[in-house]
């Protein structure tokens, strides 16, 4: 049952092959039996899930079901879920029972989906390896020595390990695409403003965007149909109709132009990775697409711009974690300053503290123009590169990351090397474009993703490209070795 | 050395919206602690701000009222600081691109004199919560109901030169925001608060001296007192050759002194940056013009009209125009009495005294403008005396009746103004008091005005309710006929 | 750019973080390295380039002035570290 895709489970439930309670119980059992190995969940909401499943079965019996009724899924632990701990992978929020639902969680509740629980992640979504969680590192189901990527490592690992057919995630600098690549699953980061950020705990407000991780493009489309939409509770949300993301899945690739940014395929790219990606892109040529070299001249500025903007915004976004109204509070504070300082230092891990300090410094007196403002100007230059490129091409393809999954501890001691991990993914967050990762090959028995970057609001085209690739290849059906 | 005082005020005015600036929580004053603090106001993880259209409209209205440039693009910034009553760890405000730019107002300096003061800017921001220091066993209790109440912070140019000018400026701002209906102007509830920036410089020097900021002064009187004691404090230091430390101070009204605020000492780097959860606010001419069309007549315009149309003195006109309700009451009453000057004197005199004595506002007055108008119409028509008018006024105030004519009858205040009737009484009085008449006739011409007094008293004693003016004329005539 | 120990402590203070003695050097090295990385931005000519607030250059939407929230104090204070009489408690704040 767990090898079925979301779409198949949805069909089976509609066809009465099994009940929602049965499929829910099946996934809950798998999580219970196997997740000790992966640590991909922070919280499993068994009771709530079974209650939702039972209600879904009753709804179906009454003839009021839709395609989502009773379909199990899970949320990254960054989305607030009313009455359920929402920790963001941090000791700071270990006791934070969210008193409200994020719009994304609410959307899934409204269509009658069943939430199995909350998945593990880098603390406050800051990281590329899911090693910085207060709840311990997530293991890559393909190799226990390797990281699953981050920050949505729990979501990607759980989907790869068949612990849930689809899980929500977020992406600020590659946090959906890089773990999807490392775990051999499919993930899409939509256009900025497409999925509501309301109730999604902010890391960097102007970059954060929610999206799904699932096994196939079709499943991702099905999830995005629920997640996407205008939300008046989010000022940055875009008031624009949402298409049915499955409508275009079967369009032909004939006549489509794929842009290959020369800066992404420079001599610095590992030759094995380059070959793997080029092999994948050849599939598109076979399907009738044409390739075109393009240039994104400001590519080298993405990492520096990102590491000004994201820390600056996070330094303010995380100030509300002060030990006064919710979250961790230190023992016996001697005065208010002591309460603030010790609560925060005890509650936050090193990487979070590092980014808060970096941001505080970049915003401090006299540096705003040189750092934050400068980085926001550079963002526009980066965006302009893409706008120009999309005059000539329909979609851009590239590696997701410089390498397949790396080993635990390999980069966690050196932040800069970890930051460079995001070199191919940051640009879409900075420009606000949609980006996707699909399984496209294997290197040293580890999966490798192909990155698809689309024009603004062109998620349908990305999903179409991904679906066509998955029709032609079987990378997305590969199962981690030894998976039960 | 002779010193020049330099004062600039920052006035915070709470906008009279129903809901908060970035959330749908109520702004009503006086609710139980934290019952109006919702997920947004508590700054819970994941919540996002959405801007209240009414707060924008009110801020633009204010800008138009002070003849200011309106920011067609304005941007919200985060001002970062940690304080338990600031739940997000930052305040959303406007630093570089405020909604209201340079404008000006005219302040009233008494005796009809006024002075123009430039207003640097006014920006939108959110209010903070409150800390309660008593009743929590040595700890502080935090109430976040006020969090997110919309404020405009109105910043003056450092053009005020005395404590009197500063309070006149504060009063004028109160008058304007109340006229506009954008703030209830209630200082006692903190709807308007004032920070005073004070510095001294040797007379004639262009460069400003080091300033101190006195935070959160909450009454007109305290603005004057706080500034005065701060001027004295600074002058003492400077005269002794010392220097002023730039700092934030607090006015202690009980001790009548300002003191340094410990909690503000370390806060000096606010790390402002544009709030990425909010987008630039863009408005167009059409929007601004639609708001301009709703502007009421403002105190300055009303004052000018009172002088020109009703012939009031500059002083009376400015006092009456300062309060919209008072001005409306005055105009309504005067329209009925038919005598604007007399009505103005009444409203500023007896009526204001009664309000003060009873500590109520013009909105709560038990005598309506229509009733006062009717009373004064009788005075103007010589049907009752001014003293009689006071009696009717007091009777209505005390709830003894509401119909002015009825009360005049009941209280027997109707004056006898009929000359022939009075002539008869006067003739009798003169006949009854031959000695007085003789004395009067022996008085030199120029002292006779004083000597006529006893006749008036005697006449009014003989016939109650006679119009004293008519009595006087008849007496003069009769006595002159004798002499 | 490299930061000295005092700068690191000053930033930590600004961010209300308490850095223990033995971590200062780590923070100092790591922060300095990241600053070196981001200092590449300084060489870019951004004259006349409007900072990007939103990829679509969207503008602020407005909310109608309507009270939509109801009192949920009890629910919210259940997750608070310390409350009394409806207030959030903190060590005495001196003004």
Q: A19-35, pLDDT tens digit by residue? A: 999 999 999 999 999 99
- Facing B24 at nearest CB: one of C67, C84, C89: C67
Beta-carbon separation of A380 and C16 below 8 A? no
Q: Looking at CA atoms only, how far is residue C48 from chain A in angstroms?
A: 9
Q: Is A417 a catalytic residue?
A: no
Beta-carbon separation of C65 and B17 below 8 A? yes
In this model, does residue B266 exceed pLDDT 80? Answer: no
Q: Is A175 a catalytic residue?
A: yes
In this model, does residue B426 exceed pLDDT 60? Answer: yes
On the 0-12 / 13-18 / 19+ scale of CB atoms within 10 A, B356 is exposed
The predicted-structure confidence for A355-369, as pLDDT tens digits, reads as follows 999 999 999 977 899
Q: Higher model confidence: residue B254 or residue B430?
A: B254
Question: Nearest-CA residue of chain B relative to C60?
Answer: B279
CA A213/CA A223 separation, integer angstroms? 9
Mean pLDDT throughout B52-81?
98
pLDDT of res. B111 = 76
Partners of residue B59 in chain C, C-beta under 8 Å: none
pLDDT of res. B264 = 56
CA A138/CA A35 separation, integer angstroms? 10
pLDDT of res. B449 = 73
In this model, does residue B240 exceed pLDDT 60? Answer: yes
pLDDT of res. B454 = 80
pLDDT of res. B458 = 80
- Asked if B30 and B188 touch (Cβ cutoff 8 Å), the reply is no
Mean pLDDT throughout A202-230?
98
Which residue of B279, B281, B283, B287 to mutate against C (max C Cβ within 10 Å)? B279
CA C59/CA B278 separation, integer angstroms? 9
Partners of residue B277 in chain A, C-beta under 8 Å: 202, 205, 235-236
Q: Looking at CA atoms only, how far is residue A180 from chain C in angstroms?
A: 25
Mean pLDDT throughout B110-116?
85
In this model, does residue A299 exceed pLDDT 90? Answer: yes
Within 34-53 of B, beta carbons closer than 8 Å to A belong to 39, 42-51
pLDDT of res. B437 = 82
Map residue A170 onto helix, strand or coil.
strand
Q: How many CB atoms lie within 10 A of CB B75?
A: 20
Supply the DSSP symbol for A406. Answer: -
pLDDT of res. B17 = 98
Question: Nearest-CA residue of chain A relative to C86?
Answer: A325
In this model, does residue C21 exceed pLDDT 90? Answer: no
In this model, does residue A331 exceed pLDDT 90? Answer: yes
Q: Looking at CA atoms only, how far is residue C62 from chain B in angstroms?
A: 5
Partners of residue C87 in chain B, C-beta under 8 Å: 33-34, 132, 136, 141-143
Within 120-139 of B, beta carbons closer than 8 Å to C belong to 131-133, 135-136, 138-139
Partners of residue C68 in chain B, C-beta under 8 Å: 19, 24
Question: Nearest-CA residue of chain C relative to B268?
Answer: C14
Percent of the residues in chain C that have a pLDDT greater than 70, as a whole number: 98
In this model, does residue A413 exceed pLDDT 70? Answer: yes
- Facing A360 at nearest CB: one of C15, C76, C91: C15
CA B352/CA B336 separation, integer angstroms? 19
pLDDT band at B483, cuts 50/70/90? low
Partners of residue C34 in chain A, C-beta under 8 Å: 307, 354, 358, 415-416, 419
pLDDT band at B267, cuts 50/70/90? low
pLDDT band at A288, cuts 50/70/90? very high
Mean pLDDT throughout B174-183?
96
- Asked if B1 and B239 touch (Cβ cutoff 8 Å), the reply is yes
Beta-carbon separation of C34 and A419 below 8 A? yes
The predicted-structure confidence for A117-157, as pLDDT tens digits, reads as follows 999 999 999 999 999 999 999 999 999 999 999 999 999 99
Write out the DSSP string of C26-83: HHHHHHHHHHHHHGGGGGS--TTPPP-SSTT-----EE-S-------HHHHHTT-S-E
Beta-carbon separation of A301 and C41 below 8 A? yes
pLDDT band at A186, cuts 50/70/90? very high
pLDDT of res. B466 = 75
Q: Looking at CA atoms only, how far is residue A342 from chain C in angstroms?
A: 6
In this model, does residue B265 exceed pLDDT 90? Answer: no
CA A385/CA A283 separation, integer angstroms? 26
CA A484/CA B15 separation, integer angstroms? 63
Sign for the CA dihedral angle at B299, B300, B306, B309 comes to negative
Catalytic residue among A40, A151, A315, A343: A151
Q: Looking at CA atoms only, how far is residue B176 from chain C in angstroms?
A: 22
pLDDT band at B108, cuts 50/70/90? confident
Beta-carbon separation of B139 and C16 below 8 A? no
Beta-carbon separation of A235 and B43 below 8 A? no
Q: Looking at CA atoms only, how far is residue C29 from chain B in angstroms?
A: 23
The predicted-structure confidence for B344-375, as pLDDT tens digits, reads as follows 999 999 999 999 999 999 999 999 999 999 99
End-to-end CA distance of chain A: 12
- Give ∠ CA B359-B361-B362 in degrees, rounded to 5: 135
Question: Nearest-CA residue of chain A relative to B89?
Answer: A319
In this model, does residue A239 exceed pLDDT 70? Answer: yes
In this model, does residue B467 exceed pLDDT 80? Answer: no
- Facing B33 at nearest CB: one of C51, C59, C85: C85
Kindly report which listed range (A218-232, B338-352, B455-469, C2-16) carries the lowest average pLDDT score. Answer: B455-469
The predicted-structure confidence for C33-57, as pLDDT tens digits, reads as follows 999 999 999 999 999 999 998 888 9
H or E element, residue A416: helix A415-420
Question: Nearest-CA residue of chain B relative to A373?
Answer: B273
How many angstroms separate the Cα of A356 from the Cα of each of A181, A243, A351, B361?
28, 38, 9, 52
Question: In the predicted model, what is the mean pLDDT of chain B?
Answer: 92
* ipTM for this prediction: 0.97
Partners of residue A341 in chain C, C-beta under 8 Å: 16-18
- Facing B269 at nearest CB: one of A80, A232, A364: A364
Cβ partners under 8 Å of residue A8, min gap 6: none
Q: Looking at CA atoms only, how far is residue C31 from chain A in angstroms?
A: 7
Q: Is A364 a catalytic residue?
A: no
Question: Nearest-CA residue of chain B relative to C93?
Answer: B140
How many angstroms separate the Cα of B192 from the Cα of each of A79, A127, A437, A456, B147?
39, 46, 55, 46, 15
Q: Looking at CA atoms only, how far is residue C95 from chain A in angstroms?
A: 12
B259 and chain C in contact, CB less than 8 A: no
Question: Nearest-CA residue of chain C relative to B282?
Answer: C59
Beta-carbon separation of C41 and A379 below 8 A? no
Percent of the residues in chain A that have a pLDDT greater than 70, as a whole number: 100
Partners of residue B84 in chain C, C-beta under 8 Å: 88, 90, 93
Mean pLDDT throughout B289-315?
94
- Facing A336 at nearest CB: one of C42, C56, C90: C90
Q: Looking at CA atoms only, how far is residue A381 from chain C in angstroms?
A: 8
H or E element, residue B155: strand B150-156
Catalytic residue among A20, A87, A175, A312: A175
Mean pLDDT throughout A62-70?
97
Kindly report which listed range (A70-79, A452-461, B349-358) carries the lowest average pLDDT score. Answer: B349-358
Within 59-118 of B, beta carbons closer than 8 Å to C belong to 75, 82-84
Structure-block tokens of residue A453? 């970057």
The predicted-structure confidence for A367-391, as pLDDT tens digits, reads as follows 899 999 999 999 999 999 999 999 9
In this model, does residue B469 exceed pLDDT 80? Answer: no
Mean pLDDT throughout B36-46?
97
Question: Nearest-CA residue of chain C relative to A429?
Answer: C55
Beta-carbon separation of B26 and C69 below 8 A? yes
Partners of residue B263 in chain C, C-beta under 8 Å: 93-95
Cβ partners under 8 Å of residue B379, min gap 6: B337, B342, B385, B386, B388, B389
Within 235-294 of B, beta carbons closer than 8 Å to A belong to 268-269, 271-273, 276-279
Kindly report which listed range (A189-193, A334-338, A370-374, B448-452) carries the lowest average pLDDT score. Answer: B448-452
Count how many pairs of residues, chain A against chain C, have C-beta atoms within 8 Å.
173
Catalytic residue among A40, A76, A128, A132: A76
């Amino acid at each position: 049952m767990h090898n079925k895709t979301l779409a198949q489970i949805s069909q089976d439930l509609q066809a009465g092959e099994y009940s929602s309670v049965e499929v829910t119980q099946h996934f809950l059992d798998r999580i219970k039996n196997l997740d000790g190995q992966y640590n991909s969940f922070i919280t499993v909401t068994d009771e709530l899930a079974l209650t939702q499943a039972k209600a879904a079965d009753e709804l179906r019996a009454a003839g009021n079901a839709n395609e989502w009724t009773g379909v199990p899924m899970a949320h990254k632990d960054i989305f607030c879920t009313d009455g359920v701990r929402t920790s963001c992978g941090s000791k700071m929020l270990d006791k934070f029972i969210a008193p409200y639902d994020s719009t994304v969680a609410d959307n899934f509740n409204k269509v009658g989906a069943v939430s199995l629980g909350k998945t593990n992640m880098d603390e406050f979504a800051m990281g590329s390896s899911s090693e910085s969680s207060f709840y311990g590192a997530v293991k890559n189901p393909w190799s226990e020595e390797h990281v699953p990527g981050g920050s949505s490592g729990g979501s990607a690992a759980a989907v790869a390990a068949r612990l849930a057919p689809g899980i929500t995630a977020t992406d600020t600098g590659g946090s959906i695409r890089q773990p999807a690549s490392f775990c051999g699953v499919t993930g899409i980061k939509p256009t900025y403003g497409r999925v509501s950020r309301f109730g999604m705990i902010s890391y960097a407000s102007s970059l954060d965007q929610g999206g799904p991780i699932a096994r196939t493009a079709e499943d991702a489309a099905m999830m995005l149909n629920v997640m996407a939409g205008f939300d008046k509770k989010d000022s940055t949300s875009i008031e624009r109709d949402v298409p049915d993301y499955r409508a275009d899945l079967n369009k032909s690739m004939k006549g489509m132009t794929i842009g290959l940014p020369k800066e992404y395929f420079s001599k610095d790219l590992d030759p094995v990775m380059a070959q793997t990606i080029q092999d994948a892109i050849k599939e598109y040529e076979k399907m009738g697409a044409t390739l075109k070299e393009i240039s994104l001249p400001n590519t080298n500025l993405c990492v520096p711009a990102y590491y000004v903007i994201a820390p600056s915004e996070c330094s303010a976004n995380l100030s509300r974690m002060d030990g006064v109204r919710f979250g961790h509070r230190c023992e016996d504070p001697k005065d208010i300053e002591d309460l603030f300082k010790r609560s925060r230092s005890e509650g936050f891990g090193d990487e979070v503290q590092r980014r808060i300090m970096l941001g505080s410094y970049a915003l401090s007196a006299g540096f705003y123009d040189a750092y934050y403002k400068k980085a926001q100007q550079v963002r526009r230059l980066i965006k302009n590169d893409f706008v120009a490129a999309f005059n000539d091409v329909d979609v851009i393809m590239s590696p997701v990351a410089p390498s397949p999954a790396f080993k635990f501890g390999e980069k966690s001691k050196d932040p800069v090397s970890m930051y460079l991990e995001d070199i191919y993914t940051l640009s879409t967050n900075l420009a606000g474009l949609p980006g996707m990762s699909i399984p496209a090959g294997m290197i040293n028995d580890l999966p490798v993703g192909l990155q698809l970057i689309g024009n603004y609001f062109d998620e349908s085209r990305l999903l179409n490209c991904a679906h066509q690739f998955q029709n032609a290849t079987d990378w997305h059906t590969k199962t981690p070795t030894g998976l039960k | 050395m002779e010193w020049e005082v330099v004062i600039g005020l920052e006035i915070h005015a709470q906008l009279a919206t129903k809901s908060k600036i970035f959330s749908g929580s109520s702004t009503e004053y006086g609710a139980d602690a934290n019952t109006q603090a919702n997920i947004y106001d508590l700054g819970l993880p994941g919540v996002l701000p959405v801007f209240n259209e009414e707060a924008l409209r009110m801020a633009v209205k204010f800008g138009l009222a002070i003849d200011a440039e309106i920011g067609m693009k304005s941007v919200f910034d985060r001002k970062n600081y940690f304080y338990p009553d600031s739940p997000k760890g930052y305040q959303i405000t406007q630093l570089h691109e405020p909604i209201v730019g340079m404008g000006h107002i005219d302040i009233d300096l008494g005796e009809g004199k006024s002075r123009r003061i430039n207003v640097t800017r006014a920006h939108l921001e959110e209010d903070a919560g409150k800390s309660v220091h008593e009743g929590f066993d040595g700890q502080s209790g935090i109430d976040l109901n006020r969090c997110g109440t919309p404020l405009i912070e109105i910043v003056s140019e450092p053009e005020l030169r005395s404590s009197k000018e500063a309070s006149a400026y504060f009063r004028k701002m109160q008058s304007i925001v109340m006229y506009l209906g954008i703030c209830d102007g209630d200082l006692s509830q903190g709807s308007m608060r004032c920070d005073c920036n004070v510095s001294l410089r040797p007379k004639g020097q262009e460069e400003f001296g080091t300033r101190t900021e006195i935070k959160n002064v909450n009454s007109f009187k305290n603005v004057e007192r706080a500034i005065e004691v701060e001027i004295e404090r600074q002058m003492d230091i400077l005269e002794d050759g010392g220097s002023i430390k730039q700092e934030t101070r607090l006015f202690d009204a009980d001790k009548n002194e300002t003191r340094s605020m410990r909690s503000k000492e370390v806060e000096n780097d606010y790390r402002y940056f544009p709030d990425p959860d909010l987008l630039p606010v863009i408005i167009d001419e059409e929007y601004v013009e639609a708001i301009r069309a709703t502007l009421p007549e403002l105190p300055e315009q009303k004052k000018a009209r009172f002088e020109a149309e009703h012939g009031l003195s500059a002083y009376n006109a400015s006092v009456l125009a300062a309060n919209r309700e008072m001005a409306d009451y005055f105009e309504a009453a005067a329209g009925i009495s038919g005598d604007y000057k007399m009505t103005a004197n009444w409203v500023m005199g007896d009526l204001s005294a009664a309000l003060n004595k009873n500590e109520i506002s013009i909105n709560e007055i038990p005598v309506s403008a229509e009733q006062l108008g009717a009373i004064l119409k009788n005075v103007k028509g010589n049907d009752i005396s001014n003293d009689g008018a006071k009696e009717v006024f007091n009777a209505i105030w005390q709830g003894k009746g509401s119909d002015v004519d009825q009360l005049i009858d009941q209280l027997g205040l109707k004056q006898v103004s009929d000359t022939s009737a009075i002539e008869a009484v006067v003739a009798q009085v003169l006949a009854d008091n031959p000695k007085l008449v003789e004395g009067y006739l022996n008085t030199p011409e120029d002292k006779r005005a004083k000597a006529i007094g006893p006749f008036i008293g005697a006449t009014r004693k003989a016939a109650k309710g006679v119009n004293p003016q008519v009595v006087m004329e008849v007496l003069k005539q009769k006595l002159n006929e004798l002499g | 750019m490299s930061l000295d120990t005092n700068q690191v402590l000053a930033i930590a203070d600004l961010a209300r973080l308490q850095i223990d003695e033995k971590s200062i050097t780590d923070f100092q090295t790591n922060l300095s390295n990241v600053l070196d990385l981001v200092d590449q931005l300084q060489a870019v000519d951004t004259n006349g380039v409007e900072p990007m607030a939103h990829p679509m250059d969207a503008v602020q939407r407005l909310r109608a002035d309507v009270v939509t929230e109801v009192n949920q104090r009890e629910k919210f204070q259940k997750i608070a570290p310390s409350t009394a009489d409806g207030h959030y408690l903190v060590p005495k704040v001196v003004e």
